[in-house]
A and B are shown apart, each in its own frame.
Chain A
Amino acid sequence: MTPQALVPYMIFIPLSAAFLIPPFGKKFKKAGDIISCAASACVTALGIYLASSVALSKVLVHKPYGWQAPFGVALVVDGLSGLFLVAMNIVALVVAVYSIGYLNTYTDRWKFSSLFMLLVAGINGVLISGDIFTLYIFLEIAAISGYFLVAFGIAPDGLEAAFKYAVMGALASVFVLLGIALIYAHTSTLSIAGISSAISVGQQTDVLKFAAVLLLTAFSLKAALVPFHAWLPYAYSSAPAPISAMLAGVSTKVLGVYTIMRLFFVMFGPSPQISVILITLGVLSMVVASIMAFVQVDIKRLFAYSSISQIGYVALGLGIGTPLAVFGALFHLLNHSAFKPLLFLASGAITRLTGTRNMGKIRGVMKDSPVTGTATLVGSLSICGVPPFGGFWSKLIIILACIQAGRPVLAFTAVAVSMLTLAYYFRSLTQVIFGKPLTHGKREGAVTMSMGIAMITLVVISASMAVLLLPNTGNAVIKEAVSVILNGKSYAAMVAGVLK
């Protein structure tokens, strides 16, 4: 089969897995885990194959049932979505493996696996859809299965968090739909390529500007940039650990940041106003969230706030918009989707070891469970920007890009926030990792083998992210994604060229 014909399987495999799990899951205890891990592995392999074919042919377009443009719903994989497909599906696979061991205390686990596969299907759908309404549908699938998963434990705090998350998410969805309606009314088409060629840069009418504001608000809500971040600490801290990892590493990235890249850089085309807004939101997120992180006592809330602050770096890089800055933003995003899931998975293991999330009551994880301790240590060092790890290089690139673009104040802010990050991680986690174990009693079998394997995989990935910077490895892949963002308007021509 040609690569084009394989594109819809990115959605089809996880979706059919989601509906295969319920009939088998009730009878066989392991069926849910086996099917979800197998489907994740298949999708990951397929994602890597598609990304490697994109490297050769620039863009893959799948037209279901042979409908030609402007009719039909095209599925498009280009450099940007190829990069995301690989990174996000690897994280999803690791989380699927982790949840085998983590969920053995939960009842009705097949429901979890089924919802998890729906989430993966939604994420992949957002990444490959070539028109904004399909994107909206898959965004909703991913978001709604995310709400269900946050409430999965049915503990009071989980329900409260899920309600808040769902109300915020529903607001965002309504804004997206209204924005899509306005764009459709203006351009009479829904395909991203069609809209992109119908709108010429600099001649945007008031209707389009209003639609752009609605969409930017909605996606900032999904990405949890600072004025819109209220739901995130609740959802991340109350969800089961694999879901916190999935939300932090995949959902906010794809539903928030990827959609901003796709719609504002490719569809609308970059504009100075959007840059200013993104820089403002980014700097606000970086500063406010790191200050909030200082006062946290709950380990998952600490990671949640630092997650907001790191997304701020990505938004800052995108806002500056020079090739180097966009490269830094994408690289930081990849790093963050490696080490933040790692930290959340480790926090799940810590919670199971000690029975608490309060950092004042957790000591000496390294002695209790070396794997968990190493995972927390590597994740923290990477997020703080300690040299051999990826986090250092991506922050360095963003800071250099600020200076290169003649924005020394922004560079200074980025450095200062980096220091703040180092400070609050050092303050909060030193005792947690290295301290003298308290007598809370070591729990045997708390960290199972699948959890260990998942964490070690992510430790290796986080530690070796810097390899991607070397030429002839991942560098070309990221550069391809950067060129998609920077030459947004050529997307229409590329897709149309294939569509004919």
Chain B
Amino acid sequence: MTVYFLCFVLFSIGLFAVVRKRNLIKIIIGIGIMAYAVNLFLILIGYCKEGRAPVLSSDQGIINMVDPIPQAMVLVSIVLGLVLTLFLVAVAIRIYEKYGTFDITKINRLKG
């Protein structure tokens, strides 16, 4: 139970960074932390105590295996997170070139 709680704390830290921080890079890091918290949660769902790798062969029964589906989901989610981070960092660099700052409150050419 403690593990799940810590996982939730990690998620909240990421959410806090996204909502409260003013630096673009810190916001990007916040999104990364949230994504990792969710990935960790997925792995925890599939985990069972003293489980082994889910490889089925003829001499082994299906006992004590960890659930492979969340692991597959985490792989996909890591790739998607990578693309998103790449995009955000690229845009942040361009924004820095054009506006000369990473401060989100000063990047407000659009209003209303």
Contact = CB atoms under 8 A, between A and B. Distances in A.
B83 interface: yes
A233 interface: yes
A346 to B, nearest CB: 21
B35 A174 contact: yes
B95 to A, nearest CB: 5
Interface string A131-153: 00100010010001001100100
Interface stretch (A21-29, A165-173, A242-250, A274-282): A165-173
A178 B41 contact: yes
Given A170-B84, A178-B11, A184-B70, A163 B91 contact: yes
B110 interface: yes
B110 A140 contact: no
Interface in A310-352: none
B107 A160 contact: yes
Nearest to A143: B84
A234 interface: yes
Interface string A173-203: 1100110110011000010000000000000
B8 to A, nearest CB: 10
A301 interface: yes
Contacts of A237: 110
A177 B95 CA distance: 29
Dominant SS among interface residues on chain B: helix
Contacts of A167: 18, 27, 31, 88
A157 B109 contact: yes
> Which of A171, A181, A298 has most B Cβ within 10 Å?
A181
A133 B15 CA distance: 23
Contacts of B94: 151, 154, 159
B27 A177 contact: no
Contacts of B87: 144, 147-148, 166
A190 B11 CA distance: 23
Interface in B97-112: 98-99, 107-110, 112
A159 B91 contact: yes
A66 interface: no
B77 to A, nearest CB: 6
Contact of A238 (B27, B38, B110): B110
A161 interface: yes
Contacts of A216: none
B18 A177 contact: no
B38 A178 contact: yes
B48 interface: no
Contacts of B70: 181, 184
A68 to B, nearest CB: 17
A295 interface: yes
A151 B93 CA distance: 13
Contacts of B76: 133, 137
B99 A301 contact: no
Interface string B19-38: 00000100100010011001
B27 A295 contact: no
Nearest to A301: B112
B87 to A, nearest CB: 6
Interface string B39-66: 0011001000000000000000000000
A166 B84 contact: yes
Interface residues on B, range: 20 to 34
A233 B77 CA distance: 28
A122 B24 CA distance: 28
A144 B83 contact: yes
Contacts of B24: 163
Given A144-B80, A184-B69, A184-B70, A163 B112 contact: no
A157 B110 contact: yes
Given A157-B110, A170-B31, A144 B98 contact: no
Nearest to A156: B98
Contact of A295 (B15, B18, B112): B112
Contact of A162 (B38, B69, B91): B91
A52 interface: no
B6 interface: no
B92 to A, nearest CB: 7
Nearest to A167: B27
A450 interface: no
B73 interface: yes
B11 A156 contact: no
A369 interface: no
A156 B38 contact: no
A356 interface: no
A296 B80 contact: no
B28 to A, nearest CB: 8
Contact of B38 (A154, A163, A181): A181
Contacts of A292: 112
A187 to B, nearest CB: 12
Nearest to B92: A163
A132 to B, nearest CB: 10
B32 to A, nearest CB: 9
A111 to B, nearest CB: 13
B6 to A, nearest CB: 15
Which 5 A-B pairs have CB atoms at the shortest separation, nearest pair first?
Answer: A156-B98, A185-B45, A140-B80, A174-B34, A170-B31
Interface of B: 11, 14-15, 18, 24, 27, 31, 34-35, 38, 41-42, 45, 69-70, 73, 76-77, 80, 83-84, 87-88, 91-92, 94-95, 98-99, 107-110, 112
10 contacts: A137-B80, A156-B95, A161-B110, A163-B107, A166-B87, A170-B88, A177-B35, A177-B38, A181-B41, A292-B112
